[in-house]
Amino acid sequence: MIAVPSPLRLRLSSGALVANWRWLAAQSRSAACGAAIKADAYGLGAREVMRHLAAAGCRDFFVATWAEAAALTPLPEGVSLSVFHGAGARDMIAARTLPARPVLGSLEQVARWREAGEGRPCDVMIDTGMNRLGLRVEETAGGALDGLSIETLLSHLASADEDSAQNARQLAVFREVRQAVPARRYSLANSAGICLGADYAFDLTRPGIALYGGIPRREAAGHIRQVAFPEARILQVREVRQGETVGYGATWTAPRDARVAIANMGYADGYLRCHAGSGGATWQGCALPLIGRVSMDLTAFDVSDAGAVEEGDWLTLDYDPPSTAARSGLSQYELLTGLGARFERAWV
Ligand SMILES: *Cc1c(COP(=O)(O)O)cnc(C)c1O
């Protein structure tokens, strides 16, 4: 095989990842702090994220599907893995063989696990107002969960990133459920939930986005560091004369003679068209505004003020999640999970 160097890389800072986890763990007080690593750790690479966080002391990991769990085996020593989507009929072989627990999310799944789970431990999701996955509170009554070996009883906050009255309502319901349903541990808070305060932490927190550089609420600003830095190589630098246009639809016209760098990256890489008009990059500290439309595999930047920039140089995209979300209209989650497979993930 020939080693083909990638013209796109996602520079990933393990130092920032671990620092973010430590801050979230400190905010979680006496609760353990886990990590949601579903969707390939929000696009950063679940195996590497798990390795770095396990080395830092994180013990509780969460994925969405059994395929994601299978891709992570063998697990690092001493860690536990839970699968949010639970034990569907088609999941049972995986659920009985892989070293992970289902998060049972319906009475059907509870019955299935009792029948075929061979007494193995499970987690259970209780719905306290999200109405997505989880047993309704009233379904936990009447011994519905008797006989299960419940490791973690979970619920999920719907509006923790907002100052919504729903947060306190969900907290109150979860406290009631906690009195009624025995489990070894109780877990409610995602990243934003951790920022709501120690009342929300219970025994175990489950941050995702904040580990990866997202700011879930203002309380985290100044504490959470950017982890993922997308970089693209310049394919060519061209001279564009005043009055000429660049790219599809001719949406950018050179106001003066300009130099334009064409970067090896586009919407097929998850760098979407909505970045046009506000996106940018840097080269050796110089700001390079994005110009024209984003194409499938190419994006143009104005490098008129960037001195000696040339073919083969790397551009670092402006991709700090909170500010990029604010200007693009995409969520911080979409910004990270959308980054495509052509980015080579490079941990530093
Ligand atoms: C994704 C997810 C998390 C992590 O949420 P963030 O907002 O990324 O911190 C926690 N719990 C559940 C059930 C999830 O689906």
Question: Which of 50, 42, 90, 32 lies closest to 66 in space, CA to CA?
Answer: 90
Q: Is 271 within 8 Å of 299 (Cβ atoms)?
A: yes
Residue 1 pLDDT: 82
What is the percent of the chain with per-residue pLDDT over 70, rounded to a whole number?
100
- In the chain, the number of structural domains is 2
**177 & 304 share domain:** no
**234 & 208 share domain:** no
CA atoms within 13 A on the CB side of 234: 23
Q: Rounded mean pLDDT of 203-232?
A: 98
Residue 307 pLDDT: 86
Q: Is the pLDDT of residue 121 over 90?
A: yes
127 in a domain, yes or no?
yes
Catalytic entry in 42, 200, 212, 248: 248
Mean pLDDT of the chain: 97
Mapped onto helix, strand or coil, the DSSP state of residue 240 is strand
Could you read off the pLDDT of 60-102 as tens digits, one per residue?
999 999 999 999 999 999 999 999 999 999 999 999 999 999 9
pTM of the predicted protein model: 0.97
Q: Is the pLDDT of residue 164 over 90?
A: yes
Looking at 215, 248, 281, which one is the last position of a domain? Answer: 215
Cα separation, 72 vs 39, whole angstroms? 12
273 in a domain, yes or no?
yes
Return the ligand 1 atom nearest residue 194 CA.
Answer: 9
- Token pair of 67 as six digits: 């395929």
**174 & 114 share domain:** yes
Helices (H), ranges, 30-127: 38-42, 46-56, 66-71, 92-97, 107-116
Catalytic entry in 38, 42, 267, 271: 38
Could you read off the pLDDT of 166-202 as tens digits, one per residue?
999 999 999 999 999 999 999 999 999 999 999 999 9
**97 & 187 share domain:** yes
Q: Is 151 within 8 Å of 174 (Cβ atoms)?
A: no
**27 & 79 share domain:** yes
Categorize the per-residue pLDDT at 128 as very low, low, confident or very high, splitting at 50, 70 and 90.
very high
Cα separation, 347 vs 212, whole angstroms? 13
Could you read off the pLDDT of 20-42 as tens digits, one per residue?
999 999 999 999 999 999 999 99
Q: Rounded mean pLDDT of 149-154?
A: 98
**131 & 269 share domain:** no
Cα separation, 198 vs 194, whole angstroms? 7
Note down the domain range covering 266: 228-319
Phi/psi of residue 214, each to 5°? -80, 145
Q: Is 101 within 8 Å of 69 (Cβ atoms)?
A: no
Strand pairing class (299-302; 258-263): antiparallel
Q: Rounded mean pLDDT of 121-147?
A: 96
Return the ligand 1 atom nearest residue 206 CA.
Answer: 10
Q: Domain containing 137 — which CATH number?
A: 3.20.20.10
Question: Which of 344, 237, 213 lies closest to 288 in space, CA to CA?
Answer: 237
Phi/psi of residue 128, each to 5°? -115, 15
Q: Rounded mean pLDDT of 303-314?
A: 96
**Ligand 1 mutation target, pool 62, 85, 126, most atoms within 8 A of CB:** 62
Known catalytic residue at 186:
no
Residue list, ligand 1 pocket, CB within 6 Å = 36, 38, 84, 156, 190-192, 206-210
Residue 80 pLDDT: 98
Return the ligand 1 atom nearest residue 42 CA.
Answer: 8
State in Å: Cα 11 to ligand 1 middle: 24
330 in a domain, yes or no?
no
Could you read off the pLDDT of 235-294 as tens digits, one per residue?
999 999 999 999 999 999 999 999 999 999 999 999 999 999 999 999 999 999 999 999
**204 & 234 share domain:** no
Known catalytic residue at 248:
yes
Q: Is the pLDDT of residue 117 over 90?
A: no
Protein residue with its CA nearest to atom 13 in ligand 1: 156
Q: Is 307 within 8 Å of 301 (Cβ atoms)?
A: no
Return the ligand 1 atom nearest residue 38 CA.
Answer: 1
Phi/psi of residue 162, each to 5°? -125, 160
Residue 42 pLDDT: 98
